[in-house]
Amino acid sequence: MTKSSIKDIETGLNRFVRNRRVIIAVSVAAVFVVVILIAANARIGGGIIDPEPRTYPYASGTSMGVTDAPVTIIEFSDFQCSFCSQFHLESLPQIIENYIETGKVYFVYRNYTILGPNSFRAAKSALCAAEQGSFWLYHDYLFLNQNEGDPTAFSNARLEDLADRAGLDVEDFRVCLIDDRTHTQIDDDFLLAQNAGANSTPSFLINGILIRGAQNYEIFKTEIEAALASTN
C-alpha cells in the first residue's frame, strides 16, 4: 500500500470521527431540548395554584359593589400582566374592605388585551366564567397561574383545566371558549381603554380620572377620598 493511500485512509478516518462527534453533540443537544420542553409542559399541565378564598361583595358579571356608589373605578387589565396580578393581590383587597363593602365604590373590570394571543384567550375565558356567575373566582385563578413568557400557559386546554378547578361546568365553558360571542365585549373594552388614554396595564379611571400602574393602596386611598369629597 502506498503512502498516499495510507494518508487517504487516515484522512477519511479523521473526517469520520469528526462527523461522528458532531452527530453525537447534536443528538445530545436535541435530547436536552426535549427534556426541557417535557419538563416545561409538565409544569404547565399540572401544579395549578388555588387562590385563597376571597369575598367580592355585590358581584355581578365583571363588576362588584353597589351600582349607585358615589365613586366608580374602572380597571383596564390584562391577565398576562404581572403588575395587574400585583394590584389584585395587594391593593384590591384593601379597596374592597374599606370602600366596596361599605358602598362607597363601584368597581368594574375591563379587559385590555395588549400582550398577545394568550391575553385574548384569557379574556374570553374570564367572560365565559362570568356567564356562569364565577368571573371573580376564575379571575383569581388566571392571575395566580399566569406565565407571561410561555405560549401554552393560557392554551384552551389549560384554561379548561382552570375552569374545572374553579368548579365551572367545563362543557358549557368549552362551548363558550370556541365561540365568538365574547369578542364584541373584548373589542369594546379595548376601545374604551384607548379612548380613556390608557397605554399600559393596569390603568384605572376613578370617576373619570386616569391613574396608571399598580399603585400601592395609599395612592388609591388618596384618589378615592378626593373623588368622594368632590361628590359631597
Query: Is the pTM for the entire model greater than 0.85?
Result: no
**Total tally of structural domains belonging to the chain:** 2
What range does the domain containing 185 cover? 63-231
Assign 7 a pLDDT band (cuts: 50, 70, 90).
low
228 neighbors 216 (Cβ within 8 angstroms): no
Nearest to 146 by CA among 75, 44, 38, 37: 44
Question: Do both 227 and 196 map to the same domain?
Answer: yes
Assign 147 a pLDDT band (cuts: 50, 70, 90).
confident
3-state secondary structure of 115: coil
Question: Do both 9 and 77 map to the same domain?
Answer: no
Strands 105-111 and 71-77: parallel
55 domain-assigned: no
CA distances 219 to 7, 14, 24, 215, 224, Å, are: 80, 71, 59, 6, 9
Question: Do both 208 and 104 map to the same domain?
Answer: yes
Q: What's the pLDDT score for residue 35?
A: 33
52 domain-assigned: no
Question: Do both 117 and 147 map to the same domain?
Answer: yes
Share of the chain above pLDDT 70, in %: 78
Question: Do both 13 and 93 map to the same domain?
Answer: no
11 domain-assigned: yes
Question: Do both 3 and 100 map to the same domain?
Answer: no
Nearest to 108 by CA among 135, 76, 74: 74
User: Cell match 368597581: residue?
Assistant: 107
Question: Do both 83 and 169 map to the same domain?
Answer: yes
56 domain-assigned: no
pLDDT at 33 over 50: no
- Model confidence over 87-105: pLDDT tens digits? 999 999 999 999 999 999 9
Q: Lowest mean pLDDT of 1-10, 85-94, 214-223, name the range.
A: 1-10
pLDDT at 65 over 90: yes
Interatomic CA distance for residues 67 and 207, integer angstroms: 13
53 domain-assigned: no
3 domain-assigned: yes
Nearest to 85 by CA among 142, 135, 134, 130: 142
- In whole numbers, what is the pLDDT of the chain averaged over residues? 85
Question: Which of the pair, 84 or 147, is modelled with greater confidence?
Answer: 84
pLDDT at 28 over 60: no
Question: Do both 37 and 112 map to the same domain?
Answer: no
